[in-house]
Structure 1
Amino acid sequence: MIRTDAPSFAFTRAPTRRALLRGAAGLGGAALFPAGLLAAPTLRVATYKGGDGLLLRRAGQSLPFDVDFSEFGSGNLIVEALAAQAVDLGGMSQIPVAFAAISQAKIKVFATVKGDVNEQIVVVPGNSAARRIGDLKGKRVGYVRATTAHYFLLKMLEEEGLRFSDITAINLSPADGQTAFASGALDAFAIYGYVGQRIQQSYGARVLRNANGILSGDYFFTARPEALTDASLRAEIETYLRVMRKALAWREAHIDEYSNALAEALGLPASVVKAVHERESQPRRLVPIDERAIATTQEIAKTFFDAGLIPRRGDVGLLFDRSFDALLSEKDG
């Protein structure tokens, strides 16, 4: 039973790779204590600023065990943390999963989150002469390497008969890309999330194209394999999924309230967050893994391989664990 008192949520901001590895090395200490004396393990969840912890609190959902949320800047860093056994689970897009298959990182994908793709965009200055992606040939285009932006920019260029080498591609963080765009150092910026909307509102940028029709809208919950085979942690993960489904349903029913809370957490104008949420391509929800999710992730690996950006395709199917499908198919109670 889910208890109704407030859960014990601990938040850790942006741990360094060295700190994560130190923490992982200390996990062996648990073996010094008899199993009967150990309390329920703390579930260590990798998230993003304004992520699961905020949603659970605003939705009034609690958990019968302690959760330690650590904030990360990208899905690739979450993959590293999972591989280092420094966290138990975390969410990410399909792109880090494709790269994990290539690097043979020890992670497992165990649930799909259906999410928005309309906020995945290529923006240009309001006075730009560009009217289609093909007009960016020879132009300075910012993007964020090994993310959805990298992938959809590749695919958009391909559709115009262009390669990455046909543009001056500049790898930037979202924050640095926003600064570069504002200063006029970029002719276009492939970006995602609230940064794209803020650029539109603050600098009069125009959307050249969004990634609808390119990205599947599938995002994933991933875990370190040991967390799925440990009986106590697996039970906690099952409970976490059930509670998150309720929280996501609350989000859909209270989108304005959630948008305001998220805007405050992110330090953004509420108008930015609300504009993104109003244009979402589909409701955000937790669902079982299906063959399409696996196939589209494999296609991502193939695309990066064909573009000469990775040494091999990797077999993404090996990363998927569908043992939670029955749970995720349950009707909400």
Structure 2
Amino acid sequence: MNVSRRVMLASLAAATAVTTARGQTAQSKPLRIGTSNTFGFAATFKANGDDKFGGFSFEIVPFNGGSPQIITALNAGELDVGELGEVGPVVAQSADIPFKIIAATEPWGDGQGVLVDKKSGIASLTDLKGKKISYTRSTNSHWVLLKTLEKAGLKPDQVQHIFLPPGTNVQAVLETGGIDAAIAIDTLLTAFERSGSRRLVSGADVGAENPLYYIASDTAIANKAPAIGAFVSALAKHVAWGHAKPEERAKAVAELLRIDPEVALIAERKRPGRLAPIDDRLRGNNQKISDVFFEQGLIGKRLNASLSFTDQFNGSIAP
């Protein structure tokens, strides 16, 4: 073998080694997933061994502040993927954050609702007129409120909007009359119902579909697409596991949140059972939300919600 051929082969071998090393390094770095322990599926990945899939691993990062904190961290490059409610992507798109919706669950309308104290005289939606209603601005709970008022034939200015500080014991405020109604999401929704609150209406009753959305930064999609595809497959597997074995996932949720296992199980049995493909139905749902939020002055511009979706990972949703 002549010298030039030996040099060429050595160079190729070195290049292959570098490429392999880079691939191993990229694969060894976990995909960073932001979630909420209160409602997120990703929060219990480890309970079923789903924090690893297809040679990739996932670092689950919980945020007590929910979707707003997750969106902020994603925009700062601290996360690759975030688990949000259906309003989260609208807020992120209105802020010109570079991301795409990579996956979504089936609707989860029964997982959110309007609560009143069990002794309250509020019996129908029209009884909410003039009442003090607690929710979190520009989140799923805000959307549930708007849909509830729409169904009641009321305008937003016909109720009192109450924004309680994070960590407030909402049920205690309901019991003392500080507020008349509150919007809650599971597992808190079920916990409140079991201990003194009454559900007036669910999200499903008023047309708030409440799927969970999974968004990835454009940077992560460009550089970590195989890992994102593996995450979507792991997510589909995890959602199916919770649906098939609700007692097992409820046990993990109860331990994570330190709540009554029975409450966790009741909530678990209402959760979506599988992922939904990214399609025109989901795009249309988010377009409706964005249009209403713009009309209410909650976002500063009209959006083409379809631009925030990608169907690139639809092929990964089969568990």
Q: Which 5+ residue runs of structure 1 have no aligned equivalent?
A: 1-33
**Post-superposition offset of 1:225:** 0.3
**Which amino acid is 1:48 matched to?**
S
**Post-superposition offset of 1:325:** 2.0
Please say if 1:98 is aligned against 2:90: yes
Equivalence for 2:311 = 322
Instruction: Provide Cα deviations, 1:4-26, integer angstroms capped at 9, x if missing partner.
Output: xxxxxxxxxxxxxxxxxxxxxxx
Please say if 1:284 is aligned against 2:284: no
Note the 1:1-333 alignment, pairs <5 A.
37-38=21-22, 39-40=25-26, 41-49=29-37, 51-52=40-41, 54-61=43-50, 62-63=52-53, 64-72=55-63, 73-172=65-164, 175-176=167-168, 177-202=170-195, 204-213=196-205, 214-230=207-223, 233-278=224-269, 280=270, 283-328=272-317, 330=318, 332=319
How far, CA to CA, are the matches of 1:184 and 1:114 in structure 2? 36
TM-score normalised by length of structure 1: 0.81
Equivalences, count: 292
| Higher mean displacement: 189-198 or 172-181 | 172-181
- Greater radius of gyration (CA): 2
**Which amino acid is 1:268 matched to?**
I
Instruction: Provide Cα deviations, 1:116-161, integer angstroms capped at 9, x if missing partner.
Output: 2112111111121111121011111111211111111111112222
**Which amino acid is 1:235 matched to?**
P
Q: Which 5+ residue runs of structure 2 have no aligned equivalent?
A: 1-17
- Residue identity (%): 27
3-state SS in 2 of match to 1:241:
helix
| Higher mean displacement: 49-58 or 185-194 | 49-58
**Post-superposition offset of 1:53:** 5.1
**Post-superposition offset of 1:318:** 1.4
8 Å CA contact 1:82, 1:106 repeated in 2: no
3-state SS in 1 of match to 2:123:
coil
**Post-superposition offset of 1:253:** 1.6
Which runs of at least 4 in structure 1 moved beyond 4 Å after TM superposition? 34-38, 50-54
Instruction: Provide Cα deviations, 1:18-77, integer angstroms capped at 9, x if missing partner.
Output: xxxxxxxxxxxxxxxx87654123311111226445533222333323432211121122
Alpha-carbon distance change, 93 to 144 in structure 1, aligned in 2, over 3 angstroms: same
Equivalence for 2:13 = none
**Post-superposition offset of 1:87:** 0.5
**Post-superposition offset of 1:289:** 0.3
3-state SS in 2 of match to 1:283:
coil
3-state SS in 2 of match to 1:189:
strand
How far, CA to CA, are the matches of 2:258 and 2:239 in structure 1? 22
**Post-superposition offset of 1:291:** 0.3
8 Å CA contact 1:178, 1:195 repeated in 2: no
**Which amino acid is 2:259 matched to?**
L
8 Å CA contact 1:94, 1:219 repeated in 2: yes
Instruction: Provide Cα deviations, 1:224-261, integer angstroms capped at 9, x if missing partner.
Output: 0011111xx21111112222222222211210121122
**Post-superposition offset of 1:308:** 3.0
How far, CA to CA, are the matches of 1:109 and 1:193 in structure 2? 22
Alpha-carbon distance change, 318 to 42 in structure 1, aligned in 2, over 3 angstroms: same
Instruction: Provide Cα deviations, 1:82-108, integer angstroms capped at 9, x if missing partner.
Output: 111111001111201111222221111
Instruction: Provide Cα deviations, 1:298-328, integer angstroms capped at 9, x if missing partner.
Output: 1001112222333322221111111112333
3-state SS in 2 of match to 1:87:
coil
